Structure 1
Amino acid sequence: MPYLLALLLAISLYSGASSASVPTSCDNNTDCIEVGRWDLGFTLGYGNKSNPLKDYKDIPLYVVPTIAYYGERWFFDNGNIGYTLAEGENYTLNLVTTFSNDSAFFYRWDPSNIFLLSGSGNQRAISPMVSTLGTRVAPEPVIGELENRNFTYLGGAEAFIYTRFGIVHASVAHDILNVHDGLESKLKWFYNIPLDKWNFEFAAVLDWKSEEVVDYYYGVRPSESLFWNQEYQAESALNQSIEFTGQYVLTKNWNLLLVARYTDIADEIVDSPLVDKDYTTTYFVGAAYRF
């Protein structure tokens, strides 16, 4: 994972100098959406999204809906709204809105847990630490019931660069609901391999969050713990992820689906007393139906 940043930067620089073209066909592309028509569907199956927060439960996944529409310029994709500013043979530039994803660890029905394919924990006190030798030591200050960490909507711009070596997606977005007034930026490289009725997608992602984002979700409020409010000082953070999606076409309307993600959480977030894992994983196995 420490080498993911260098890998993505090298790919993006190399791809910018490569000649390629935007795919002109939807053959065997289960993610292709016809312009001017609604794309509606759902996926039934089983999955799990691990929760790195202390005393918060993992998030089970059973049903994943799909709602999308792409016009000539405007588009709606699983709750996100966008407008295409410019497009060419090798690129697309959009204005776009998107969900925050950190609030998903605090609330089971957060949109990021519902629209997985584009966690509610019990708000209990954090348990004091006990020595592994069996002798009780002075416990860390307990964190009381947490205040709300609200969902927010981000607005910004994104660019896609299409190359023979995959697609590079870069985006930057700001909190438009004034929840935390933070900034997020993402750099993603993904590559599709279609094989007869199969389609495999591999991806590597860098996800940067400003200090305001990290402090709002992972910082400690004075009402929760005066000690940890002063002890933990939030900083901007860079998460790193790898993703795999596999699909098999059963019929015109049905596909089998497998999704797996692993995210290495930045040290600046792991240092928070609310967090007890330095990674999170997501997997989902099921059958997808598109109307």
Structure 2
Amino acid sequence: MAGLSWSFTAHSAEQETADGTSSWGLGLGVASSQQPYTDIDRDNEAIPLIYFENDYVRVFGPSAEFKLPSLRISDTQQLNFNIVAEYDSSGYEEGDARILDGMDDRDGGFWAGAKVEWQNELVNVNAEWLADVSGDSDGQRFTLGLERTWTFGEHMMLTPRLAAIWQDQEYVDYYFGVRSDEVRFDRAAYKGKSTINTEFGVRGTYLFDQQHSVFLDLEAVRLGSEIEDSPLVDSSSENSVRFGYLYRF
């Protein structure tokens, strides 16, 4: 699903934390997301942002990364390894759209897994595997992504990204399947299968000074055919816009 997990990253603060020190900040983020369910309204939400980072952990918004030892390949290349945990607010309630009337609610929950990032001069490559540890969907997803940051002067950064996101059968069936007791005349039974979504995004960050920064993140996701085929869906894509302000102490 399209970033309803509030996948903000610490890049929104973009200033590096020196070795042996810690940095923290507070802020506010807002997001507007459009899910692909038929006639569902755009979802708008706000969330307080808490940022903390040191040599061992990075926390930003609803996600946390626990840093493992890195592998330095050369002066321009490095492999970073992290344990990842995040809260994902994906899902729906039956009253969210007419097509969902009579459906059991589908919940988000907590996800955990691992991430490896290859930093180099050309483009950063990252691979992340996450599993639903809340036990709602029992799903898994794997993301392979590319991103690069360009810096303009001392204040502006722009980071485009491209990613392929594999979602397993349990994930797709939970959020887009229709169980036998949920069938009605305009909603046939549907058993979801694993699929691959394609994500395009760009994040802009503006640093006013050492304390104040704002970011804007735009994201569009092309859904896999196994999601498009769901009788709950009338769109081949979903999108989100996120904006946030952070004050670093």
1:221 corresponds to which of 179, 193, 196: 179
Amino acid at match of 1:122: G
Helix, strand or coil for the counterpart of 1:53?
coil
Alpha carbons of structure 1 residues 101 and 191: separation in structure 2 relative to 1, 3 Å: farther
2:24 corresponds to which of 39, 42, 49: 39
Distance 2:69 2:80 in 1: 6
Partner of 2:111: 154
1:93 corresponds to which of 71, 81, 89: 81
Amino acid at match of 1:270: E
* 1:245 has 2:166 as partner: no
Partner of 2:137: 180
**Pairing 1:187-266 to 2, within 5 Å after superposition:** 187-196=144-153, 197-225=155-183, 231-266=189-224
Q: 1:82-136 CA distances to partner (integer Å, 9 max, x unpaired)?
A: 3323202211112222334642xx26xxxxxxxxxxxxx834432xxxxxxxxxx
State whether residues 161 and 167 of structure 1, in contact with CA within 8 Å, keep that contact through their aligned partners in structure 2.
yes
Alpha carbons of structure 1 residues 74 and 84: separation in structure 2 relative to 1, 3 Å: same
Distance 1:228 1:145 in 2: 12
Q: CA deviation at 1:64?
A: 4.6
RMSD (Å), alpha carbons: 2.7
- Report which stretch shifted further, 169-178 or 261-270: 169-178
Partner of 2:98: 125
Amino acid at match of 2:65: G
Query: Matched residue pairs, number?
Result: 231
Amino acid at match of 1:41: L
Amino acid at match of 1:169: N
Q: CA deviation at 1:286?
A: 6.0
Q: CA deviation at 1:171?
A: 0.9
Q: CA deviation at 1:168?
A: 0.9
Percent of aligned pairs sharing the same letter: 20
State whether residues 85 and 93 of structure 1, in contact with CA within 8 Å, keep that contact through their aligned partners in structure 2.
yes
Helix, strand or coil for the counterpart of 2:146?
strand
State whether residues 219 and 229 of structure 1, in contact with CA within 8 Å, keep that contact through their aligned partners in structure 2.
no
Q: 1:216-247 CA distances to partner (integer Å, 9 max, x unpaired)?
A: 11111233216788642211011101111112
Q: CA deviation at 1:280?
A: 1.1
Distance 1:272 1:29 in 2: 35
Partner of 2:6: none
Structure that is richer in strand per residue: 2
Amino acid at match of 2:157: N
Amino acid at match of 1:209: Q
Partner of 2:225: 267
Unaligned runs of 5+ in 1: 1-27, 108-120, 127-142
State whether residues 85 and 110 of structure 2, in contact with CA within 8 Å, keep that contact through their aligned partners in structure 1.
yes
Distance 1:287 1:72 in 2: 24
Amino acid at match of 1:88: L
Amino acid at match of 1:240: T
Distance 2:41 2:12 in 1: 35
State whether residues 147 and 161 of structure 2, in contact with CA within 8 Å, keep that contact through their aligned partners in structure 1.
yes
State whether residues 124 and 145 of structure 1, in contact with CA within 8 Å, keep that contact through their aligned partners in structure 2.
no
Amino acid at match of 1:39: W
Superposition TM-score, scaled by structure 2 size: 0.80
Distance 1:213 1:203 in 2: 24
Amino acid at match of 1:172: W
Amino acid at match of 2:24: D
Distance 1:246 1:52 in 2: 26
Alpha carbons of structure 1 residues 185 and 290: separation in structure 2 relative to 1, 3 Å: same
Alpha carbons of structure 1 residues 250 and 145: separation in structure 2 relative to 1, 3 Å: same
Which structure is larger by alpha-carbon Rg, 1 or 2?
A: 1
